[in-house]
Chains A and B, each alone.
Chain A
Amino acid sequence: MSTPGFSDTEVSGTVSTVQQTIARRRAEGGGALIGYLPVGFPTLTESIDAAVALVANGVDVIELGLPYSDPVMDGPVIQAATQQALANGFKLRHGFEAIKAITAQVDAPVLVMTYWNPVVQYGVERFADDLRASGGAGLITPDLIPDEAGDWMAASERTGLDRVFLAAPSSSDARLVQAIEASRGFVYTVSTMGTTGARAGVDAAARILVERLRAVGCTSACVGLGISTPEQVREILGYADGAIVGSALVKALTDGGVPAVARLALELAAGAQNIRPASSPT
């Protein structure tokens, strides 16, 4: 499914690097591994080092979280980390500094995950410009639905930034179509009804939701919420284009610093290899 202006890959002559990365991983016979870490936790420097370590150890796309005072989609692990980052004095400009520092060291695309009010207060257009200028790939917006996203649609069209909206097990088919048409990069497929945080088993709901998205034309569905092990990554990449790991990485960073994040990333990346035979290069 491709609507003019909201197409999968190309807008204003810009090719989405996130989409390219996902396509490359698929061609290699694996799937995309997306790793979340918040800026400023435990410190700004360590959060940058940890993000770089993710990519050095096989993570394909970075989801960089901007700490926010009222994170309703986040479970206790990420809440605690972002609350500490705020207590340490996190400001939005640190987010842009971090993206610059990360993209200077590694090639992977950096998507910013942010609740909506900070973007509104910074100014949607100004935020888009500064995100683009610092090397960011786009935004994941957990509390912005396409219905309310007029300003952001315009700003992302102008700047060519990706916009990742969410699809939930409770979404109607009409809303799935809306999420697909509004998104560029991928559709964030919410694996389960709930907030972020590791779970023992990833819901069957995730597979069903990806199937429902595929049935209405989705070519790029990445699954998040509750994924913490290489086995879960492998299982999800059997049917989805990408797997998103968050709380498990934040917990590793909390408990064991950057070396622990690097170790976990390496293990998770092993789960993202050899899902299916690689396609021959064209």
Chain B
Amino acid sequence: MSLRKKSLRAEPGPYFGDFGGRFVPESLVAALDELTAEYELAKNDPAFAAALMELHRTYTGRPSIITEVPRFAEYAGGARIILKREDLNHTGSHKINNALGQALLTKRIGKTRVIAETGAGQHGVATATVAALFGLECVVYMGEVDTERQALNVARMRLLGAEVVPVKTGSRTLKDAINDAMRDWVTNVETTNYIFGTVAGPHPFPAMVRDFQKIIGEEARQQVLDLTGSLPDAVTACVGGGSNAMGIFHAFLDDPDVALFGYEAAGDGVETLRHAATITKGRPGVLHGARSMLLQDEDGQTVESHSISAGLDYPGVGPEHAWLSSINRATYLPITDDEAMSALRLLSRTEGIIPAIESSHALAGTLELGRALGPEATILVNLSGRGDKDMETAGRYFDLLDEGAEQS
């Protein structure tokens, strides 16, 4: 009998410990089976991997660089802080990694129409982009509240040729956009592939989206080794559904000396009802096709989440995160709106990099973590997206707009 511990990097789904699975209408099972089978074939097909790598290189601009940020690090107890620059990808975030992978898969399956849900709009923009690139019809579902706070991304998607459907049901945010995308998929599954944006949802999405995002950690692990000669002491990322976090965590799962920290959106604070801190405050439950942690009331009704960041404003989380938390391999902590916005301004002013509000949650958590770990520590942060899309929110929050300049 081998004493070697089982790798944490080899989880294929559908289950991650007690989490994951497929809680979906029977109508979708055939499509999920097809997607699973095609993905397994594609995963083992060198031509598929080569095509995706070529797109990463010539379209997205991979590998994305790492940037050390010493002026920012002065505020983090002097710890060495290194950013993985997913914000520099084409379309401005990590979402393109997954959208390209799933679009290639869509072509392989032979479907001609893709749908997507989006919160902040980054996954919607990435999907609209790859749909334009591959000549696919594209419909993006977006909560009406989010279409208002991320109006620029709505315009981007429409310019790219996608139809954006504002979702007016429920809380009119990401969770309801997913409901409507699922209803569309149930109806049009014969012609349509659902390009799911995060590591949540029914199998095979959590494992497949993770696999398309794990390139972030694979690149960064080597880049940090090349720069510093050793692995980082900690890796940090923001967590909504959790795709950028799984993407950077995955390569480090079997490095027991590397601590992993996911930062959830605490909105007005986890002591209030207005937050999106799913692992911190939720209970196990079933939503959007998987068993995971969930913000819910005693009857199992989903509770509305709140965050200044549309991309983290989700009452669920990917099942692999719920599992990593349950086995204490990763730690999940809440970051309030104010803490995130303050980190956003700090990185802008110290390093000339304007981060997305989502990624600013990871930066805020890293400031605290650095102070706790001390000046000898090295921390790798996933800077998952850039802040251009957030200028209206930031402008209002920091009162940066001249009177009359505000559009709405």
Contacts and interface: CB of A to CB of B under 8 A. Distances in A.
Question: Do chains A and B stick together as partners?
Answer: yes
Interface in A51-93: 68-73, 75, 79, 83, 86, 91-92
Interface string A142-174: 111101100000000000000001111111100
A68 B289 CA distance: 15
B183 A195 contact: yes
B285 A120 contact: yes
B301 A69 contact: yes
Given A117-B300, A121-B285, A193 B187 contact: yes
A179 interface: yes
B30 A166 contact: no
Given A70-B302, A117-B285, A170 B25 contact: no
A69 B173 CA distance: 13
B24 interface: yes
A195 B187 CA distance: 7
B27 A144 contact: no
A277 to B, nearest CB: 34
Contacts, number: 111
Contact of B24 (A92, A117, A143): A143
Contacts of A194: 27, 183, 186-187
A224 to B, nearest CB: 12
A169 B30 CA distance: 10
A71, A72, A144, A193 — which one has the most chain B CB atoms within 10 A of its CB?
A72
Given A72-B179, A117-B287, A92 B30 contact: no
Q: Chain B interface mostly helix, strand, loop or mixed?
A: mixed
A73 B288 CA distance: 12
B21, B23, B29, B175 — which one has the most chain A CB atoms within 10 A of its CB?
B23
A131 B28 CA distance: 28
Contact of B288 (A70, A75, A170): A70
A116 interface: yes
B169 interface: yes
Interface string B292-305: 00101011111000
A86 B26 contact: no
Interface string B1-41: 00000000000000000000111111101110000000000
A21 to B, nearest CB: 24
Given A70-B179, A143-B23, A171 B30 contact: yes
Interface of A: 68-73, 75, 79, 83, 86, 91-92, 116-122, 142-145, 147-148, 165-172, 175, 179, 190, 193-195
Given A68-B300, A179-B26, 16 more contacts: A72-B25, A72-B183, A117-B294, A117-B296, A117-B300, A119-B300, A120-B285, A121-B283, A121-B299, A143-B23, A143-B289, A170-B189, A190-B25, A190-B27, A194-B187, A195-B186
A-B pairs with the 4 shortest C-beta distances? A121-B300, A118-B300, A170-B30, A168-B27
